[in-house]
Every structure is written in structure tokens, then in C-alpha cells.
Amino acid sequence: MKIKSYIGALALLLVLSLLAACGSDTNGSNNNGTGSDGKSGKETTLTFWHHYSTASPEEKTLTEQLIPQFEAANPGIKVKAVAYPWDQLHKKLQIGGSSNDLPDVARLDIIWVPEFQKQGLLVALDEKFADFDETAKGLLEGPLSTGKIGDHYYGLPLNTNTKVLFWNKAMLEGSGLSKAPETTEEFFTAIAQIKAQSGKAWGFGEPALQGWNILPWIWSNGGDVLSPAMDTAQGYLNSPATVDILTKLRAAAQAGQIAGFKPGDVPVTEGHAQGSYAMMAEGPWAFAQFESQFPDFKAGTAYFPRGSAGSIQVLGGEDLGIFSKENGEESWKFVKFLTSEAAQVSMGKVGQIPVNLKAMENSEIKNIAYFAPFLEQLKTSKARPPVAAWPQIDTVINDTMSSIFMTDRDIKSELDQAAAKIDELLKQ
């Protein structure tokens, strides 16, 4: 009897062990109740890396409204959002690609998509997800095209943007100017007049010297960075048109009419609202910042100053890219949610221009008056070159512009050297 009891107990223990093994989570996910499929009991945590500024209206809307709404509608899926500054996020993704430490989903600057696609890190959305075409139909065609590399889409647009000229009415009027400058010639006359009137203020604030900041001046003056075939910078970055506009901008900076890009300078957006910078070129998110930090400041906007080639600003925006190899379906659900009408309207109300067609027609979005100049400027905005080497090219541009604006070195020679460096990057 003892032998039979021992055998019976052993058999029972074996059965219980097998049942426990069947119920365990073999891929590392938590097993806490109903899962994303409503049956398996598996809970999936998605990591979402983004570059919304910490505590900004956009970041608060994402973490306090949208993510809780998504989790409530998708039991079993949790989202861990992690914010990084723009440049740090780019480096984090570059390093993660080598160390296999990547998020499930990331908010990508549109200029990063070719780079990460070339490295084989992004999921081809139209190949992986059967309802991609149906989802894509509901989004603006221009922003949608920023995620297409070759024959496939590696990103879905989250938002689009550009910059317009902001002008501090009190500062301009105090300098005898009744309106914002319409041409580059008027612009340089205006900032000189503002500096002469108020020695402690600057006519224009420029926070950085990267392509995002410098290209609109070059483009509007008839210059460019790369050839139309995007295979060389020779004859384009170092063209007479580029030299001409940079010569004028450097002279203005040396005269104390332009500032904001040097370490220790007054932050541009805050300085514009507080009377340090009479003008700046910025995106729609500036209004959300004014509303939260400077509610009494009334900003004026105008088109970017027109040069010989027109008023050409830079096309901005972000795409959502999926890096996940294990949580693809859950990641796609999150991506679709962030591009849905409801989510786009919520983010639109804090300054993010929607890409969802229904959101664009939503009455709450149409009532946002300050979107109007940006939507008009978008008609002549131009995208940065969609080449995989663009982040490295942008570094060359930033270094070159820093050398030009902070020294007395010959501008043409600096641009010649930069063009040679860029051509080497294009060959890689």
C-alpha cells in the first residue's frame, strides 16, 4: 500500500508540474489576467521612445490621456513611454541597433527613416500588416510618403509641421516697424533697425545651426545642399547663392542682430515672449509653450521672408516606426491608435498638426486659428534630402556653420571642405 501511495503521489506531482509548465510564459511577458488577445492571459508591455519635451503639453497629453485610453481599450497591453531629447534619441537608436536594445515603437524624425531602414531595423509595415492600405488611406498623402523607402513603407506619419516667422509686435512697433518683413532684404533692414533702437535686444533668434535652421535661408535664396539626383554637394552647398546668404547672415550675427545659437544665449522661444528677440522662425508647438508659460503674450506670425526663389521653409514631422520583432501586432495597434482621429485631435489641441484626414476636418481642429499660417507655409515647404547619410551630413552642416558664424574664416573655403566631406558620406 505504501508503494502504491508513493507511486500515486508521484504521478499527481508530475501532472501538476506539466500543468504549471503549460501555463508559464515562455517569451518573458507577464502572465497577469486577460491578454491582448482576450484569451491567452499574456500581458505585453510595449516600450515607446519619443522626443516630446518632458512636461510639455504634448508629453502630458501622451502620458496622461492617450496612453491610458489605449490601455483601457486594449486590456493586456501596457505602454512604457520614455522621453529623450531629439539628438539623444537618435544616438540611443543608433546604439540600440548594434546592441539589440531597441524599443517596440519609436517616434522618428522623418529624416531618420532612411537611415534605420538601411540598417534593417524597421519593420516593413505594408508587408507585415494586412490592413496597412486601409489605414494609410485615412492619412495625408505628403506626410505618408516620408515613410516610403523603395517599394515599401517603414513608417506611418504621426504629425507634420513647418515653421513660420514669429514677430513680437511691441518690439517691431517700438523700432518704427508696423509689420513683419516680407522679403530677405526687408528682414536684414529690420533687424539692423531693431538693434539700433534697442542695444540689449536682438532682431532675430536662431537656436541652432543645423539643416533645420539654415536650409530655409539657403533654399529661399536659390541655393541647395545636394544635387537633384542627391549624389553630390559640389556646386550646390558651395554655390554663389549659398555663399551670398551666409555672408549676410554672418554679418548680421557679428553685428549683434542675430543670436541664440551660442552656449549661454537666451533661449529663443522664451526670449521672444519676454522681449529679447524681436523675431524667430518656429513651429506650431510654440503657441502651446506661450499659452502655458506666457499666457499674456500675443504672438504675431507671418510667412518666412521671401528670397529670390520664394519663401521656402523646411518640412518637418515625425513618423512612427516599429522595431519590434516579437510584439508586432501589439505595436501596430498602438501605431494605429496614435494616428486615429481621436488621438490626433487630442494632440492637435496642444500644437501638433494632424495627418489624419478626419482629424483635419474635425471642428475642434478647424477652430485652432493659429494653424492657418502653417498650413499655408506647408505649400512651399521642402523636405530635407531623404538619404540614409543625412544625419551625418547634418553634422557636417552644423560644424561648418558653427565655424562660419563663430570665426572669420573664408565662407567659400569652408563650404568647399564641407561639400567634399558630404560627397564622401554619400559614397558609403
Say what the pLDDT of residue 13 is.
Answer: 39
Residue 326, classed as helix, strand or coil, is coil
- When computed from its CA atoms, the radius of gyration of the chain, rounded to whole angstroms, is 26
Long-range contacts of 347-350 (CB under 8 A, 24+ apart): 347/58, 347/61, 347/62, 347/66, 347/159, 349/61, 350/57, 350/58, 350/60, 350/61, 350/285, 350/288
Q: Model confidence over 198-244: pLDDT tens digits?
A: 888 999 999 999 999 999 999 999 999 999 999 999 999 999 999 99
Instruction: Write down the mean pLDDT value for the chain.
Output: 91
Say if residue 177 is in the same domain as residue 250: yes
Say if residue 69 is in the same domain as residue 208: no
Q: Model confidence over 142-167: pLDDT tens digits?
A: 899 999 999 999 999 999 999 999 99
- Residues of the chain with pLDDT > 70, as a percent, come to 90
Judge whether 12 lies within some domain: no
Say what the pLDDT of residue 217 is.
Answer: 98
Say if residue 330 is in the same domain as residue 307: no
Say if residue 220 is in the same domain as residue 295: yes
Say if residue 403 is in the same domain as residue 268: yes
Neighbour tally for 20: CB within 10 Å: 9
Say if residue 195 is in the same domain as residue 268: yes
Say if residue 211 is in the same domain as residue 259: yes
Instruction: Check which CATH number belongs to the domain holding 110 and give it.
Output: 3.40.190.10
Whether 333 has a pLDDT exceeding 70, the answer reads: yes
Q: Model confidence over 268-297: pLDDT tens digits?
A: 999 999 999 999 999 998 998 898 899 999
Whether 7 has a pLDDT exceeding 90, the answer reads: no
Residue 361, classed as helix, strand or coil, is helix
Rounded to 5°, angle at Cα 280 from 279 and 281: 140
Structural domain for 150, as ranges = 44-154+316-380
Say what the pLDDT of residue 337 is.
Answer: 98
Domain final position from 347, 365, 380: 380
Judge whether 15 lies within some domain: no
Whether 9 has a pLDDT exceeding 80, the answer reads: no
Say if residue 304 is in the same domain as residue 246: yes
Whether 179 has a pLDDT exceeding 60, the answer reads: yes
Confidence class for position 400, pLDDT limits 50, 70, 90: very high
Q: Model confidence over 62-101: pLDDT tens digits?
A: 999 999 999 999 999 999 999 999 999 999 999 999 898 9
Q: What are phi and psi of 353, to 5 degrees?
A: -65, 125
Whether 12 has a pLDDT exceeding 60, the answer reads: no
Whether 17 has a pLDDT exceeding 60, the answer reads: no
Whether 10 has a pLDDT exceeding 80, the answer reads: no
Judge whether 407 lies within some domain: yes
The number of folded domains in the chain is 2
Say if residue 177 is in the same domain as residue 308: yes
Say if residue 101 is in the same domain as residue 238: no
Angle between helices 184-197 and 240-254 (to 10 degrees): 10
Pairing of strands 164-167, 277-282: antiparallel
Say if residue 244 is in the same domain as residue 370: no
Say what the pLDDT of residue 41 is.
Answer: 63
Judge whether 413 lies within some domain: yes
Confidence class for position 40, pLDDT limits 50, 70, 90: low
Say what the pLDDT of residue 20 is.
Answer: 41
Say if residue 240 is in the same domain as residue 360: no
Judge whether 29 lies within some domain: no
Average pLDDT over residues 174-179: 94
Judge whether 179 lies within some domain: yes
Q: Model confidence over 306-323: pLDDT tens digits?
A: 999 999 999 999 999 999
Judge whether 188 lies within some domain: yes
Judge whether 3 lies within some domain: no
Confidence class for position 418, pLDDT limits 50, 70, 90: very high
